[in-house]
Amino acid sequence: MRVDLFDFDLPQELIALRPVRPRDAARMLLVRGQDAAFEDKGVLDLPGLLEPGDVLVFNDTRVIPAQLEGRRAGGEARIGATLHKRIDLRRWQAFVRNAKRVKEGDQIVFGGGVTAIAEARHGDGSITLFFEGEEPVEVLLDRAGTMPLPPYIAQRRGVDEQDQKDYQTMFAKEDGAVAAPTASLHFTDHLVAALDARGIKRETLTLHVGAGTFLPVKADDTDDHQMHSEFGRINAATAARLNQARAGGGRIIAVGTTSLRLLESAADENRVIHEFAGDTDIFITPGYTFRAVDGLMTNFHLPKSTLMMLVSALMGRDRMMAAYTHAIAGKYRFYSYGDSSLLLP
């Protein structure tokens, strides 16, 4: 499909630079099947919009301080690195700013005495960084790194201490993401208690979101776009409970496109979800047959992005374009710190 089919104009003032407080005070647009009217709701309405026995599936990945600034050793070239995907205990694949000034074997000196050697260069332009020393890389990043806010926020204001809390979900447990699973940012203890009281079940999985989620689709046709792979894990017990819930009539509602993509990667053609541990580069576009999920809670996405294509696959392109027109007219707040939508095909 043509990528420009997923384009739209968004007023800059609708890009949220901070989340609302409390988190569960965000608005939420309810989008049902083709003939239903759009409904302007709030995130706190979620329990009443679901049925007892439905299951919300959250991503428990934790965002690490994956944004690094430094210089090439022996030179003045400023180098910026955004870690993308872990390779092993000391190596990370990274997108590097000013990458033309970096050669294989160069040492890059970051803040706090943290250094890394540039190793292999990849076809997507990223570079493998080998972090020197004996301390765990997580310790080095805590010392030298900052929170990797999305470019559309970072370009308009600096990263500050508040982002350390704001850009982390209440479910964050497993270190490894360089972008937050932002649909879960809306959840609070108060909202979770209301969901529990309603009989809505909760499950977690892990997908370490990579920096590729922010990269624009440069191809003119979706067939020519190459997705970046990300590591994900669903354990056998979680998969069994999800299958049991669906067999009992419950719906599987993914909280965020990251949860959805991993669930779909783990499901077979009979809609059975299996244990999963490994990389996924699943690219979901209109025409895809969903196997695992019955709905999606998600924020509003960038034009021409893979995530806009994903929600269009779930609800239909025309339906989602109309929903976004409604959201823009209603001044919903967009992107990572913005409002939410509940998509129930």
pLDDT in tens, the chain (345 residues): 999 999 999 999 999 999 999 999 999 999 998 889 999 999 999 999 999 999 999 999 999 999 999 998 887 788 999 998 899 999 999 999 887 788 899 999 998 889 999 998 887 778 999 999 999 999 999 999 999 888 889 888 988 889 989 999 999 999 989 889 999 999 999 999 999 999 999 999 999 998 766 667 888 998 888 888 899 999 999 999 999 999 999 999 999 999 999 999 999 999 999 999 999 999 999 999 999 999 999 999 999 999 999 999 999 999 999 999 999 999 999 999 999 999 999
For the chain, the structural domain boundaries read 3-63+165-343, 67-145
Question: What is the reported pLDDT for 76?
Answer: 78
Q: Do the two domains 3-63+165-343 and 67-145 of this chain adopt the same fold?
A: no
Distance CA 141, CA 65 (A): 6
Of the candidate CATH numbers 1.10.287.130, 3.40.50.1970, 3.40.50.300, 2.40.10.240, the domain formed by 67-145 belongs to 2.40.10.240
Closest CA to 182 of 174, 194, 172, 192: 172
Write the DSSP string, 123-148: TTS-EEEEE-SSS-HHHHHHHH-B--
**Apex 228 CA angle, 227 and 234, nearest 5:** 105
Q: What is the pLDDT of residue 215?
A: 67
Judge contact between 178 and 64, C-beta under 8 A.
yes
Tell me whether strands 230-234 and 78-86 are parallel, antiparallel or unpaired: unpaired
Structure confidence at residue 228 (pLDDT): 81
In three-state secondary structure terms, 160 is: coil
pTM of the model: 0.91
Residue type, 191: L
- CB atoms closer than 10 angstroms to residue 82: 21
Q: Are 55 and 204 in contact (CB under 8 A)?
A: no
pLDDT tens for each residue of 14-27: 999 999 999 999 99
Per-residue pLDDT, 226: 80
Rounded Cα distance between 255 and 202, Å, is 10
The answer to whether 105 touches 117, Cβ cutoff 8 Å, is: yes
What's the CA gap between 64 and 228, in Å, rounded?
A: 19
Which of 284-316 are b and which e, b meaning 16 or more Cβ less than 10 Å from the residue's Cβ? bbbeeebbbbbbbbbbbbbebbbbbbbbbbbbb
3-state secondary structure 68-89: EEEEECCCCCEEEEEEEEECCC
User: C-alpha distances in angstroms, 190 versus 59, 170, 186, 187?
Assistant: 19, 12, 11, 8
Q: From residue 216, give the alpha-carbon distance in Å to each of 104, 156, 306, 307.
A: 26, 18, 8, 11
Can you name the CATH fold of 3-63+165-343? QueA-like (3.40.1780)
Q: List pLDDT tens digits, range 213-239.
A: 666 788 899 888 888 889 999 999 999
CB atoms within 10 A of CB 272: 15
Report residue 29 as tokens.
């647009």
